[in-house]
Structure 1
Amino acid sequence: MAKDKKDAQGKRKWYQLIGDGYRIASRTYPKLPWILIGIFVGTLVVFIGSGILLDNWILWTISAVVLAPMFTMVALTRFIESASYRQMEGIPGAASAVIGRIRRGWTFQEEPVRFNARHQDMVFRLIGKPGVVLVTEGPVDRVRKLVDEERKQAGRIAPNVPVHALHVGTDPDQVRLAKLMKSLKKLPKKLNNNEVAVVAKRYESIRTNALPVPKGVDPYKVRPDRKAARGR
């Protein structure tokens, strides 16, 4: 009985989740309330105004009442997602947390394959239809050596497979965390499913020789601080 009561208390209602998301987004975008109000009111004005002009205001008003909340929720969802990415930027292993959302077509090792312990620069490796993709965290000039080392290894393991590098960060020559997934999808596809499996198997065979992750950094466990995101 006590357990059931505890489980019931632990389950958050949908409106509570929306409230949590709104608080996350509003910290990053202070003008969010006015933006959402503008979208809601703007939708009502456009649809009702169109209904009056077309002499069919009843149908258009019903559409406005239905679509105004929908458009507002879609916008809020986008702002929440963008704010979450922004709040993760700069956290070691944040790229791993984002890449971990990939559903199909990629093989991904969650721990870094190259690591600079002093600066906590990291290189993560993905294998997919574009070939081998190296996702880095850290200034481009500083991670170049790590990328070159991993490129050389890729040349030995899969010599004819393309190797790409995506540098995650906020500098002009880097990819913002929020655009990482989009950048991965834009890479040209060179391998078929069977070839991807073969390359992944070759890497898996040498995984036991991978560099250990230094103490104090566990990218596997890096996730946004949900308590902080909700506001303690």
Structure 2
Amino acid sequence: MAKSTDSAASSPSTRDALKAVKAAQRERRQQERLRAREDKAGSRTRKKATRKPGIFKQLREVFSMTRAHDPKVVLWMALAFVGVLVLGLVIGLLVGNWITWLLIAIPFGVLAAVVIMNRMAERAAFARIDGRPGAAGAALSTLRRGWIVPEQPVAVSPKTQDAVFRAVGRPGVVLITEGPTNRVRPLVDKERRNMQRFLPNVPIQVVATGHGEGQVELHDLAKTLRRMKKTLTKQEVQAVDKRLASLGASRMPIPKGVDPYRARPDRKAMRGR
């Protein structure tokens, strides 16, 4: 009788303990689900933040930037679109099926407007960086295949921030200057002399960027280099670039004002004083 009484007394407490354990398990599962939802929402937010903008958003941003620099972009785009439509309409009237040709001309008109916008956007981008240090290097980055352009300039004036960039292609070695012609001439002459000693048979040309007489504007720089006469083969271009790279690596940086050939050892330090 005592055993049955004890078991009966202990059964409610056991049931309460089981209920408490189950409640704790349910609460833990709910917290895990909530944490999983938060992690999933955070991952979606990170993906949206790192996702590249779509093509329409990119076109809208380019159009806004170009319009801020040159409001006439709307007029030129409209003229390009209407011009293509008129051309398609004329062809359709001559053929006798103007509706079909008009429908064909619509996407080509949109394409022509986008091409006009891209051309004017490129000019606007160059206008924004014009006059800043490194603008010529940014313009050289638009060169396509066949040209080897180092990211850093080959010569820089610390005082005036004038710079000389280098491009190696089939026309040979082209030095592109950034700054007033008279002020940057010593940097160009020094760099040309150094290269002529190691590349005696390679043509070395100089192109000055700017808005003065005899200078090339940034948006015409890549076009000017591509129009140069080609004198080297692709294999020779690679060989010239490797030669210039080894020449630049062989230059040891020496602190200004120190002549290593006249440096004298500290004799007191050598004697341990």
Partner residue of 1:65? 106
1:79 equivalenced with 2:120 (yes/no): yes
Closer, same or farther in 2 for the Cα pair 1:49/1:191, shift >3 Å?
closer
TM-score, normalised on structure 2?
Answer: 0.71
1:102 equivalenced with 2:143 (yes/no): yes
Contact in 2 for aligned 1:125/1:132 (Cα 8 Å): yes
Secondary structure of 2:197's match?
helix
Partner residue of 2:45? 5
Contact in 2 for aligned 1:114/1:211 (Cα 8 Å): no
Partner residue of 2:176? 135
Gap runs ≥5 in structure 2: 1-39, 255-273
The Cα offsets for residues 34-73 of structure 1, whole Å up to 9 and x where unpaired, read as: 2222322333334334434553222222123232212111
Larger Rg over CA atoms: 2
TM superposition shift of 1:81 = 1.6
Secondary structure of 2:232's match?
coil
TM superposition shift of 1:211 = 7.2
Gap runs ≥5 in structure 1: 213-232
Partner residue of 2:130? 89
Partner residue of 1:204? 245
Deviates more, 1:50-59 or 1:195-204: 50-59
Partner residue of 2:190? 149
The Cα offsets for residues 64-115 of structure 1, whole Å up to 9 and x where unpaired, read as: 3232212111211211122112222112111112223434323322211111
CA distance in 2, matches of 1:169, 1:132: 20
Q: 2:210 aligns with which of 158, 165, 169?
A: 169
Closer, same or farther in 2 for the Cα pair 1:192/1:76, shift >3 Å?
same
Partner residue of 1:126? 167
Corresponding letter in the other structure for 1:153:
N
Secondary structure of 2:131's match?
coil
The Cα offsets for residues 127-169 of structure 1, whole Å up to 9 and x where unpaired, read as: 2222211011011111111111111101111112111001111
Deviates more, 1:143-152 or 1:74-83: 74-83
Percent of aligned pairs with the same amino acid: 35
Contact in 2 for aligned 1:123/1:147 (Cα 8 Å): yes
Corresponding letter in the other structure for 1:105:
G
TM superposition shift of 1:207 = 1.5
Contact in 2 for aligned 1:113/1:210 (Cα 8 Å): no
Contact in 2 for aligned 1:113/1:211 (Cα 8 Å): no
Closer, same or farther in 2 for the Cα pair 1:158/1:73, shift >3 Å?
same
TM superposition shift of 1:25 = 0.9
Closer, same or farther in 2 for the Cα pair 1:14/1:196, shift >3 Å?
closer
Partner residue of 2:31? none
- Runs (4+) off by over 6 Å: none
Contact in 1 for aligned 2:142/2:222 (Cα 8 Å): no
Equivalent residues in 2 for 1:4-23 (5 A)? 4-10=44-50, 11-23=52-64
Instruction: Name the Cα RMSD after superposition.
Output: 2.1
Secondary structure of 2:122's match?
helix
CA distance in 2, matches of 1:92, 1:210: 25
Deviates more, 1:91-100 or 1:144-153: 91-100
TM superposition shift of 1:176 = 0.9
CA distance in 1, matches of 2:94, 2:229: 48
1:38 equivalenced with 2:79 (yes/no): yes
